[in-house]
Amino acid sequence: MQFTVALDGPAAAGKGTIARAIAKKFKFAHLDTGMLYRAVGLKTLEQGHGIIDPKRAAIVAGKLADHDVQRYDLRSAMASRAASKVAVLPEVRAALMDYQRNFARREGGAVLDGRDIGTVICPDAEIKLFVTATDAVRARRRFEELLSGGASTTLDAVLKDLQIRDARDSQREAAPMVQADDAVLLDTTDLSIDAAVEQAVTLIKQKMG
Ligand code: CDP
């Protein structure tokens, strides 16, 4: 059985949590595609001694290895910024495309979360969800996530980072973040995680028939 769930939306809207819960519930494989861009961003930054060179980023993306994507520091604020900078590069996106598409079409079902899954990577996904929440709620969630990971930051700094990244992600030429025409909007502003997951599960069950 092939069944793809495409989950897109802005930073810290709850995509990751919902994707993991769906994967567990339906026994689907899960790919957090942001991790690919984070890994490319950090490695490019390190190789360039703090500078992101587009040519270097394309080479890094073409040779990405498992251990790059399994680094412990991919959730840091520095990795988030680096990810969104390499994500504007068409060569980087092209280098990561086959891996994501193959993952999506595996037997047994797959859920992928990112920015362009429903629009570019899997335009034929069986179900597409666009997950959002207000800026203030998303910033609060990411702030708490970063604090619990031991980082020291402020709510205001996190909010600014999210807004800069969302603007870059939605205004870029290559695969901008946009809700697909056939995606269902899931606004998690006033929803608990359990309630958001329940809505997603109900929609998937309907599609599976
Ligand atoms: O977890 P969060 O929503 O903050 O970010 P993420 O999903 O890990 O993605 C990090 C960055 O990678 C985003 O800000 C995008 O610039 C980029 N990205 C992308 O362009 N396309 C994807 N499918 C996934 C992530």
Q: Is the pLDDT of residue 193 over 90?
A: no
With beta carbons less than 8 A apart as the criterion, state whether 125 and 4 touch.
yes
Model confidence over 75-115: pLDDT tens digits?
988 999 999 999 999 999 999 999 999 999 999 999 999 99
- pLDDT tens digit sequence for 39-89: 999 999 999 999 999 999 999 999 999 999 999 999 988 999 999 999 999
Q: pTM for this one?
A: 0.96
- What are the residues whose beta carbons fall under 8 Å from the beta carbon of 177, sequence distance 6 or more? 8, 9, 10, 115, 116, 166, 169, 170
Best substitution site from 37, 40, 160 to test ligand 1's pocket, by max atoms within 8 Å of Cβ? 37
What's the alpha-carbon Rg for the chain, to the nearest Å? Answer: 16
Ramachandran assignment for 50, one of left (phi > 0), alpha (psi -120 to 50 degrees), beta (any other): left
Q: Are strands 127-132 and 110-114 parallel, antiparallel or unpaired?
A: unpaired
Q: Report the separation in Å between the CA atom of 209 and the middle of ligand 1, taken as the mean of its atom positions.
A: 31
In the chain, % of residues over pLDDT 70: 100
Which atom of ligand 1 is closest in space to residue 37's alpha carbon? 12
Q: Output the ligand 1 site: residues, CB below 6 A.
A: 11-12, 16, 33-34, 37-38, 80, 83-84, 87, 114-116, 165, 169
